[in-house]
Amino acid sequence: MKLIVDSETDKVLGASMCGPDAPEILQGLAVAVKAGATKAQFDSTVGIHPSAAEEFVTMRTLTRRVAAGKPKTNL
């Protein structure tokens, strides 16, 4: 699971997930992304427990930062 967040605006730009029920979970996240939700709004949401979907609202640790204008590639 991944959330892509703009560090300057805190706006959630996208999400990614692989696994069971991923299409249904991501469809719900698509509504939030389309509505312009921020990471702070995700963080303040109570997750449905027990479910994999709750992981998207409990992600608290930055795992990777990509500098603007310098895309990373593995090619």
For residue 49, indicate whether it is catalytic. yes
DSSP state of 40: H
Question: 23-31 long-range CB contacts below 8 Å, 24 or more apart?
Answer: 25/52, 25/53, 25/56, 28/53, 29/56
Which of the following is catalytic: 18, 23, 49, 69? Answer: 49
Gap between the Cα atoms of 75 and 45, Å rounded: 38
Catalytic residues: 49
